[in-house]
A and B are shown apart, each in its own frame.
Chain A
Amino acid sequence: MEGNGEISDTDSGIILHSGSDSPMTHMKDVTTHTRAMKLKHQALQERLEICLLELKKVCIREAELTGRLSDDYPLLPGEKPPQIRRRIGAAFKFDEQSFPRGAEESELSFVDAELALQMKIYEAVRKLCEEVHPSKAVKKSRLQQCKREEKKLKRLQETAFQLRLEHGRSSPLPAFNIAQHDLGTSDDSSLSDSVVQDEEVTSQSSQLSSGLPDPGETDPPRLPSVSSQSFSKSSYMSPSAAPQNLPQTPSQSPHPSLTSTPSFSSSPASDLPPIQHSPWTESSLDQPYQKNRKSRSSNKSSSFKTELLPPLEAVFASHLKLGHSQSNSTPSTPEMRVHRQLSLRIPNPESPFERERGRTRSARRRLTEFAITLPDAPLPAVNYANYVNSEDSNSEHSFSSYNSSPCQELPCDSPKQYQSAFVHSGPGGSCGTQGFPSTGFYHNPRQQSSPGFPKAYYTEETAYRPELDLARGYYTQRAPCAPNRYEYYYKDPAVLHQRAQRPLPPDIRLSPSPAQWEHPQYRSNGLPKQVVNEQLTSWHHRSQLKSPRSCSLDRQGAVRVKNISARETAFHQNQKYHEQVIQRRALQREETRWVVDDGSHFMSQV
């Protein structure tokens, strides 16, 4: 267009020049003079025409954007102003009742009007949403928009309703009526093309754009006038942004074909952005990332932390003490075992707290996993019990201190301990059977434990089954030096079957029979595989990082030393927790030993 103007300009310029030259020739010949004048006139006229055309085009364009035909539009005497169709936008028909005339209850009527509008928007968006569209992104964005509008609508409805209640009016009907009524009427206007095709755009229609970016999660835009019964939503797009949206609209014809009264259309954009935008915000980078974004899991874990930390510290302290007195074991050993136990427990869906524990201890785990796999939290008592159970690893010896016979453990004590542990875990139900009995079971084979334990054992086993390969690999690697109870977990059921059929070493007299393996719980306890996977892999890595320790040293050597310190701690510190801790430790120690005993046996089978 600009090009046109320039061209015509230069054209006429040339001719004008010749015209200005003409006075020179003026004297010469009248005919040449008139000819020149004619030429000039013609040229001017041509130029005028071009300019007019250009003006028209600009006016139409403007009208398409603003919805109003400019007064400057050049009209020939008989000519009717062209009918401008706004390129984008939607028009909705409203019932009169949705806009009460009276100025009273202005707030309510205001909200009503907004609500009515929002209803329309929502309907339109919903229809758009249902429409088949080849592009996935478009579909998605439409869906999102639909949801957003729905949310807005609900909020509005709520406000309207509450206002009504306040005003003592009970029926929020007008607004709802509109929605129903509109379902039918707005069918004919296809929003997907974002084109208004409504000839009856009267004073009751209002034009609005549904695709506007929502500036903030604030209330929907205030409407300029309600009483006039027509209101328009002014565009949020800055002028510079609006043109960008134009190319996206399917209907591009600059020539208006369908009618709508231009003066009622006001907002340019209803085409949907491919991505649903949140308002443009800034965020300071001076705060740690996690703090500002409230992720569910992090909140959770932090709250747990505060809740459970004191016990943890206490236990850990004693734990460390004991670890020191246990001269021979490598310093890393306790850690390793803690990790192992924690990670093994992780799959247990019933003990989220324990998982949280695990996270706080070994911060390597990812939050999301926890969040995803966590069902409802069981009672704190359970957590604590489980936690204690899984927590300690180092001080198993301490148990024997009570019995003063380090090697022959506590036939008398352990059942009782187990009981107490179980009481703790009792409220959690299945949690208890999954968390504790595993230790109990291992502990008990020597002590003729109750028949209930194997079940729990199996349930745990199930959880780990997906990882059999991994675990097996791991154990074959470090089999000779550090077998422990967990390898037991990772045997294939088949292997265990085999084993069960073979003459058993005395240690595993109580090992499960095939029938027990088939126990219903055995299979029923499925867990998200990848979660288990992740946990075990990390555990695996961690374990491999540790140097394989010698099983003999920290097993038998330090027992007595530990006993003393354990007793001390037990007596000097919080009894309730520590008794348990110590007991747990003892149990675990025993397990370990037990497995150690026949570890080679297992290994040979893999």
Chain B
Amino acid sequence: MSNFIPGQPLVAVVQRIEIKKLRQGDNLILGFSIGGGIDQDPGQNPFSDDKADKGIYVTRITPGGPAETADLRMGDKIMQVNGYDMTMMTHDQARKRLTKKNEDVVRLLVTRKSLEEAVKNSMGGYQRQ
């Protein structure tokens, strides 16, 4: 993930995560916060290895919230939401995508360091570039 070359296919190890939004009155609660987006300064992202990575990252998980239940973790990078690519989105677009009122469930594809490493190790560094 970290060495993404524009124009080249991107290889990422992703995990499927399905979050059922919690309905609280009018609000749908996801139970996590995101940061990042192509309109934000990636250098300040504390979660990314590659400081040029403008992806959407999970910055906070509300304890006991739907996201935690779904095993989303802080620092996860969100790759897709309900099939929509999230790696080239502005922060706002990402928020919109995630907080759609008419969707009670969001299916995420996330990638995280531990995942990558685990796969890399199991593949004997095959993925290393």
What is the interface of chain A, defined by CB distance below 8 A to chain B? 213, 215, 237-238, 240-241, 244, 273, 275-289, 292-293
Contacts and interface: CB of A to CB of B under 8 A. Distances in A.
A15 B59 CA distance: 55
A277 B43 CA distance: 10
Given A275-B38, A289-B96, A284 B33 contact: yes
Interface-central residue, A244, A281, A282, A292, by most chain B CB under 10 Å: A282
A285 B32 contact: yes
Contacts of A281: 35, 40, 91
Interface stretch (B8-16, B44-52, B110-118, B120-128): B44-52
Contacts of A282: 33-35, 59-60
Interface string B88-125: 00011001101101000000000000000000000000
Contacts of A277: 39-42
B17 interface: no
Given A238-B51, A279-B44, A280-B35, 6 more contacts: A215-B44, A277-B42, A278-B40, A279-B41, A281-B40, A283-B35
Interface-central residue, B27, B43, B60, B95, by most chain A CB under 10 Å: B43
A278 B42 CA distance: 9
B12 to A, nearest CB: 20
Contacts of A275: 38-39
Chain A contact surface mostly: loop
Nearest to B36: A280
Interface-central residue, B30, B40, B91, by most chain A CB under 10 Å: B40
Contacts of B34: 282-283, 285
Contacts of A283: 33-35, 91, 95
B1 interface: no
B3 interface: no
Given A213-B43, A277-B40, A278-B40, A240 B51 contact: yes
Nearest to B60: A282
Contact of A284 (B40, B60, B92): B60
Interface string B16-33: 000000000011111111
B82 interface: no
A286 B42 CA distance: 23
Contact of A280 (B42, B62, B95): B42
Given A285-B99, A289-B99, A293-B92, A244 B52 contact: yes
Given A244-B51, A289-B95, A237 B60 contact: no
B51 A285 contact: no
Contacts of A240: 51
Contacts of B91: 278, 281, 283
Nearest to B51: A241
B26 A288 contact: yes
B40 A285 contact: no
Contacts of B95: 283, 285, 289, 292-293
Contacts of B29: 285-286
A286 B31 CA distance: 6
5 contacts: A215-B44, A273-B41, A280-B36, A282-B35, A283-B95
